Amino acid sequence: MSKNNKLLLQHAESLYNAKVVNENILGNSANLIFEIEIEQVPFILRVSEYSSQKKSHIDFELHWVNYLTNKLNNIVKPIKSINNNLYEIIQADDKSYILCLFEKANGKIADCNNPMEFNDKLFFDLGILMGNMHRLTKEYSKNLIKQKFEWCVNRDDNTFCRDELISDEDIQLFERRYYTEIQALPVSKDTYGIIHSDIHLYNFFVDNDHIKLFDFDDCRFDWYANDIARTLFFMVQIFGRSKPEKERTEFAESFLTTYLKGYRQANIIDKYWIPKFNLFMKYSMTDGYKFVKNHWRNESVNPHQEYLDWHKNRIINDLPYVFIDYNKIIAGL
């Protein structure tokens, strides 16, 4: 373990009256993640390198999550330090870091290959959870339309996501087109607000059918419909990565119908938005393509070339991420 990490954990032990139980970094995250204990109860410590923009976003994130956890028990709660702060800024080896502590979720990742775990009940319950989050967010005092951390802005440097340069002019052309179409969508308190934006199998645990959602690091202002579309996108990506088109469609339509039935038990969604999932997922394809292209841009051969080829073919031919009969979805609700 590095000397710097030891210093970070010493600060954490002091600020949270805690004991480090695992000095190894957990998971695969942009942040450093550790497990610590307070009175033999496990918690998750998140350590982020400091920047003024990062601090601003963490403040935005944790106050929203804290609000939600006071009303829902399906979300990991942020834990305050001995100074009664939701996060702490510390120094270690002439660098600044931001410490955040969260309760540790019980349970495990649902197995998408096990129908006892990955099934309609899970999809329905996830829909209820997102519906409740959106409904409660509409009442949140800091849910102000057209504020910082909007969907099209990079959190860390405040530049437009679409300004990330890649050499594929065809991808840029379609990305600008989708961006323009999305920007023209109606914005109101009922349609646009703070969303998680990253709900997929690896960001929640299930324990005896109880869902516990975590990793709100990508939260932002966006259309509520896109939160649903992105979850659909991720679920199809995980379940149907290498499956034939027909199976991808069957899964997507079944998942979406069940998910929306759950969602509509907790919140209202106008039928206008359901076909818009297609547009949001098209934009997500360009976003995913850019990420993979940029992340390995210094490699002579991209290790995910098959992923890039599949997505590029889809994008430049203006094909949907997955073929869905949205009229059938609406009729089934």
Helix, strand, coil shares, percent, the chain, to 5: 45, 15, 35
Residue 89 sits in the same domain as residue 163: no
Q: How far apart are CA 126 and CA 123, in angstroms?
A: 5
Q: How far apart are CA 260 and CA 239, in angstroms?
A: 18
Q: Which of 103, 136, 153 is the last residue of a domain?
A: 103
Residue 181 sits in the same domain as residue 272: yes
Token duo for residue 20: 């480090």
The answer as to whether 111 is a domain residue is: no
Residue 139 sits in the same domain as residue 94: no
Amino acid (one-letter) located at 262: G
Cβ 137 vs Cβ 64: under 8 Å: yes
Q: What is the pLDDT of residues 262-293, one digit of tens each?
A: 999 999 999 999 999 999 999 999 999 988 88
Q: What is the pLDDT of residue 161?
A: 54
Helix (H, G, I), strand (E, B) or coil at 169: helix
Residue 83 sits in the same domain as residue 141: no
Lowest-pLDDT range, 80-89, 143-152, 225-234, 316-325? 143-152
Residue 13 sits in the same domain as residue 129: no
Give me the half-sphere count of Cα atoms (radius 13 Å) on the Cβ side of residue 72: 25
Q: What is the pLDDT of residue 30?
A: 76
Q: How far is CA 273 from the centre of its chain?
A: 20
| Total residue count of the chain as it appears in this document | 333
Supply the CATH number for residue 77's domain.
3.30.200.20
Q: What is the pLDDT of residues 214-242, one digit of tens each?
A: 999 999 999 999 999 999 999 999 987 78
Strands 41-49 and 32-38: antiparallel
Supply the CATH number for residue 258's domain.
3.90.1200.10
Residue 23 sits in the same domain as residue 146: no
The answer as to whether 181 is a domain residue is: yes
Q: Which of 76, 103, 130 is the last residue of a domain?
A: 103
* Cβ atoms within 10 Å of 156's Cβ, excluding its own: 12
Q: How far apart are CA 327 and CA 333, in angstroms?
A: 10
Q: How far apart are CA 105 and CA 211, in angstroms?
A: 9
| pLDDT-above-90 percentage for the chain | 77
Closest alpha carbon to 285 in 181, 152, 199, 175: 175
Token duo for residue 75: 């979300």
Q: How far apart are CA 38 and CA 259, in angstroms?
A: 37
Q: What is the pLDDT of residues 49-104, one digit of tens each?
A: 999 999 999 999 999 999 999 999 999 999 999 999 999 999 988 899 999 999 99
Domain count, the chain: 2
The answer as to whether 110 is a domain residue is: no
Strands 19-22 and 32-38: antiparallel
Q: Given the structure tokens 């963490």, which residue do they identify? A: 58
Cβ 76 vs Cβ 214: under 8 Å: yes
Residue 49 sits in the same domain as residue 78: yes
Residue 31 sits in the same domain as residue 157: no
Residue 124 sits in the same domain as residue 97: no
* Cβ atoms within 10 Å of 72's Cβ, excluding its own: 14
Closest alpha carbon to 150 in 217, 199, 216, 220: 220
Comparing 200 with 240, which gets the higher pLDDT? 200
Residue 250 sits in the same domain as residue 287: yes
CB neighbours of 235 closer than 8 A, spacing ≥ 6? 200, 201, 251, 252, 255
Looking at the predicted structure, is the pLDDT value of residue 157 above 50?
no
Q: How far apart are CA 41 and CA 102, in angstroms?
A: 11
Query: What is the residue range of 59's domain?
Result: 3-103
